[in-house]
Structure 1
């Protein structure tokens, strides 16, 4: 039996589901209301409640909606990687891995980073394997941020950034990226930076907007970090899904490697999100803090999956070329479909997300629109207001993903064409 908690617009509900014998489908058994209240949650986490991804995926199941919300593929990863995992299990690689990663995987990460960024890193002292990039983010923040430290985020932001910074007791400053191009507001960023700034969090390609930070923007951030002796934490999980311009790691800019933690993962590039294999690359003096936190979060990451990930990262360039070609085709289906339905679709240069303006359909905010889209149209999108310190800034925007097979994307578009009307 599966229990899912749903919190929408401040209402708290609990509903129960039972998995059928085929292990794939869900059957709803009952649906009951719970009393409002924060329960026993620590105060620093009270505001976060259930993640928006859990909420929307649960509603998708309840209403039989096509899930274009949560960013995971509905197709499997490549056979050569899965076979490597099976072989690793058969070879007996099933006990605890070394805390910061098995040597062959650390080396594979360092090799890929050199190929992508031109930087040579020591796999033994500058690479830490984590349980997904989300854990790399947590270990970095908890290992390097002290209570009261100021940390800058670009809004909209992946929700774990703010939650983990809250756990660390950080003072969060936000700089908003605005449509249509979501470019960095130069003067605002300069005004937020100060000698109190401990770090800035960067995500490029950017979730949820699909923005690629330009070299000029990264050089500005680098200059501000150096002038104010600040660190840069950079989430680059979509680096192989850069469609229009080359991805740039800020660590590769002059003066930045010694103050940067670069985080990445296997899941998005190889359609294996359930494996939760990630890593953090940083100079030894920063790696020490990351590893101290990592040791008491997960200690070690799945051993056979690390062996398989070593094979994955050594894939030929043709794999990444085909990956990008495949996603570009999916993107075209979704973008053209959303435009034909009546959305204003903002440009997406990377990731597998597209942000749209939902206001042509007459709803007051993104949450109200997404609830209607699920319940009446049968399609799931993610309301972006949850990715801002000030939710009002994102109330006109929703995010769709094209990390689904083409038939699913076409079916979702047809549902919207049939049922979604301007009001």
Structure 2
């Protein structure tokens, strides 16, 4: 058995704060309405004689890189936990506050006071979870959910290919010596974008976890999969998305909860516990950058490209540097591991990770920061928001090169396949 400690805390902004996720809301000002509270859940896992692994899951769009580093430094200083043993994951709700400073302001303005509030709340949650550890074993079950769709296919009314997405929901339960469920993970891949309104909401992951915390386990963390090209199946035949409010959010949460209960009902032992962490950094190849004179010309524009150009001029170091994709592998047992990526991966990356791991890996985006959409080579040729526009909103120095797909797939294969050596890290550099 392994030791597990858990804690849950609310991270809803205490006052009016800009939402992140939709540029269309940028002119509405700070949000004040709360449809449902945003939550942060902490799992501390490990043996008695080794530094624990800390996994924090939060109802955020993503974690900003500066905040990630600040928290890593703090867990080492405050708790003696190695920096690489802290894993920060986001559900990717589009109705939470922005945490990244170096993105287009129209995607959500950062509130420094909220970042400090989030940092303090996260550290307090980790401290509380560290004090609540007890032995557990790990169980895993799977089921198929019929609530999602390839959004590039759906929103173009079939003009783009309907490439495969991952409909599998995986349920992981941590069971104590008396047979009681102490905590659980639910892993699924779908954008939390049921809600488009001007209010705070954890979207369907919040409805799902709240529902399961009533009967499955006291603390349930949602793990967001590779959902860059996956939305809820709420499109009209002509490609319009029918966004919803609380009733629609609750309905999708309940639909997924039923699937999750099926998966929990089929859960079986996940094998001997084996806690370990391994990390990799992958240089992401990008297309040619524009020159400084072109940046100055673009900066006069009032659209998202102008925002991007002004951001690059203000931060020339970010414009010049090679984007790096952080990846982390966390082993929970001999037949279960997590793979986190600091980007927004399309389904092809998650399906690849599952395949090369022998279906023992749960691939996750939005972990330990955010770079850009990890699109596939075919999507570059197809064009559209994810390969062409999103890099500007996300503060990339240029769009990804076609070779990025090969680089990332190879890095996933290598990281998933290698034996875990606790507290090790390495880099993958492109030739």
User: Taking structure 1 as the reference length, what is the TM-score of the superposition?
Assistant: 0.25
Greater strand share, structure number: 2
Q: Which has the larger radius of gyration?
A: 1
Greater helix share, structure number: 1
- Which of structures 1 and 2 has the larger relative contact order (alpha carbons within 8 angstroms, sep 6+)? 1
